[in-house]
Amino acid sequence: MLTTSTVSNMGFLIALQVLPFLRVLWAPRLTLEGEIPSNWGTCQNLEMVNLGQNLLTGRIPIVFGQCRKLKFLNMSSNKLSGGISEVIPVPCMHVFDISGNQLSGPIPAFSSNMCHLPQPFVDNLSFAYASYFLYGTRTGLVLPYLNSADGGMLIYHSFGGNNFTGSLPALPIAADAFGSQILYAFSIESNQLAGPLSWNLFEKCNTLKVLFANFSNNLIQGEIPEKNASLCHPLKVLDASGNQLTGPIPQSLGLSKNLVALDLSWNRLQGQIPVNFENLKDLRILSVAGNNLSGEIPSGLDQLYSLEMIDLSFNHLVGAIPSGFVKLKNLSVLLLDSNKLSGKIPNMSSVTIFNVSYNNLSGPFPFNSSKLRCDSFYGNPLLPPCPMLALAEPPTNQQGFIGDSQVYIGMPSGSPPAKSSNTGFSSIEIASITSASAIVSVLLALVVLYIYTRKCATRESRLSAGQREVSLFTEIGVPITYESVVRATGGFNASNCIGSGGFGATYKAEISPGVLVAIKRLSIGRLQGVQQFHAEIKTLGRWRHPNLVTLIGYHLSDDEMFLIYNYLPGGNLERFIQERSKRPVDWRMLHKIALDVARALAYLHDNCVPRILHRDVKPSNILLDNDYNAYLSDFGLARLLGNSETHATTGVAGTFGYVAPEYAMTCRVSDKADVYSYGVVLLELLSDKKALDPSFSPYGNGFNIVAWACMLLRQGRAREFFTDGLWDVGPHDDLIETLHLAVTCTVESLSIRPTMKQVVQRLRQLQLPTC
């Protein structure tokens, strides 16, 4: 067995040549680089290989086809490219995961004729290793939906998050080799697979005990076949969201009585929700959002007591909300916004995430409305004004914060919260006392820190030679010294200043004739400024990407701090948006900018180890060159996130209007917070509005560009959203698709928000031919 501690000290080639009896090679998350050797020698005894979450490049070697006992191969989250060979015995493997790479070409029809399965997979292996993988983050499709009756052998094959093309393959599993107790998870999401959703691909389905299938975020077209749609009885999870499916939802899906989760959202489906969905008694997740469905919500849905989430938003549904929904005690998410529903709002006491905005609802607010956000009711003209939210001990799902400042939604601007009826302190008094105490504590801490650092810093250290050093990460062909930087900026003269922020200013500097750089000078004496300085060095000093600004070097001393970047003459995206009336509208240009920024964020989230959360994505932090290539900048608030972490708990950072609501409320930040910020930026790029545009003031507190986009989509006025001239020159379908994508990035539910890799995938699908 070769594990993390040993592989980190010896190469793959040596290890596999000198260890012919090696059975387990376990080396995830070691930042291993380079190509995987193809001349391993013998691997006849090799049973498990885990090289996931490294920086490996090149192709997947066909030598794996010679490893006849190999049952576990995890090469996910690397930088592998090229195609995949049909000789690799994928059907014979219990775990095959190549997700999150850059693989391309069609997915071959793998042969299962050479499967050798002399004994169950984990009989002679450490069960701890199998458990480590099976209970990791990548099996989120599977584990939440298993129950005590689903005993059997779990087999997991994932091709997701690559660039595979062609048609959907048949299920790559040698079902007859494993027996009849197979729990099979097949994931092929976020590729570029096209063609129809043929149910022939489930030809081996009924040889399984349970099937979990994920085909989301591809280019699958056509109708879901009515015939044979119910023949796959073991089907438990079906995710075909984010494709181009058309036609009605087949009635025969209502006969798939083992379904636990069904997601057909963000397609182009029409017709009504099948009435016989009331037969799906085990259904826990139902999402058909973002389609063109019409008719009423089937009343039989209120008999599905297992339901935990219902998302019917962004359709054309009419009629009343079924009153029986109040009996669904397991229901925690109910999203009905952007439809044409009417009648009263039921009192959904068990629901924690609830949205009925942009409908035609009337009557009083439900009794538990104090637990809900007012923007969950926006766009219903027949409803009374939203009642003031409860201020004491808000529930964790309440999102009364927008950006990094608190907004009491539903109150007139500037109005203080009402005092409580008892004789104690009011909420505002408690907040004032708490804020004052915090300020005094911070000031005392800074005084102590100042005295301590002054005592520790001697005059000799301040005058040492190190005070004038410039550390470089990248050579630019001319020497860069402290003196040349000061001279090129005119002693940081205001005439050379090209931008300023909360922690300093940026200057244009011509180091030598024709060689321009940007100098970001940080303010001395500010603790946050020092933290920002180190955050930028820690991120940009190590990672390189075509759509990230290049950190050339830095200087750090007691009396001066500055960072040296490549100079980008096109200014920032904020200025571009403000001044675009001076140039013709070009959809290709806007699409390219959006795609460049998405690629940069996807790289930070999926390719960096540890992962990087930017936390301050906004137009002023996106720079442009003369060809309108976009570069993400300003990593002073960046946060590193370990691969095993789904989120981090940290103080709220960012800019008002761009901070995700769940982050502002709970201080729990994840990559989905960057996705939210990106969605706001994309909305600004498409429109002539700012995130918190003054024109939104008539709609009340808390109304922002996200609410405006949802309102126009719901009212069928999407054309009004786009900046002047864009609708006339851009393809209408692509513009609407991009607007829907931006809105999806800002939805309340984190599970519905796409990843940045999925955003890149969707934008690539809209890629326009070059002239």
Are the CB atoms for 328 and 334 separated by under 8 Å? no
d(CA 693, CA 657): 10
3-state helix/strand/coil string of 87-125: CCCHHHCCEEECCCCEEEEECCCCCCCCCCCCCCCCCCC
Q: What angle do CA 403, 406, 412 make, to 5 degrees?
A: 115
d(CA 528, CA 445): 13
Are the CB atoms for 523 and 538 separated by under 8 Å? no
The bridge status of strand 497-501 relative to strand 504-512 is antiparallel
d(CA 608, CA 544): 10
**Measured between alpha carbons, how far is residue 277 from residues 260, 267, 304, 352, 702 in Å?**
12, 19, 9, 24, 37
Instruction: Give 394's contacts (C-beta < 8 A, 6+ positions apart).
Output: 400, 665
Catalytic residue among 616, 634, 671, 674: 616
d(CA 516, CA 518): 7
**AA identity, residue 429:** E
d(CA 598, CA 592): 10
Is residue 616 part of the annotated active site? The answer reads: yes
Residue ranges with strand state E in 655-708: 668-669
Are the CB atoms for 216 and 189 separated by under 8 Å? yes
**Measured between alpha carbons, how far is residue 377 from residues 318, 384, 693, 713 in Å?**
17, 10, 21, 16
Instruction: Give 397's contacts (C-beta < 8 A, 6+ positions apart).
Output: 352, 353
According to the annotation, is 257 in a ligand binding site? no
Cis peptide before 661 (omega within 30 of 0): no
Collapsing DSSP states into helix, strand and coil, what is residue 557? strand
Q: Which residues are known binding-site members?
A: 520
Give the active site residues: 616
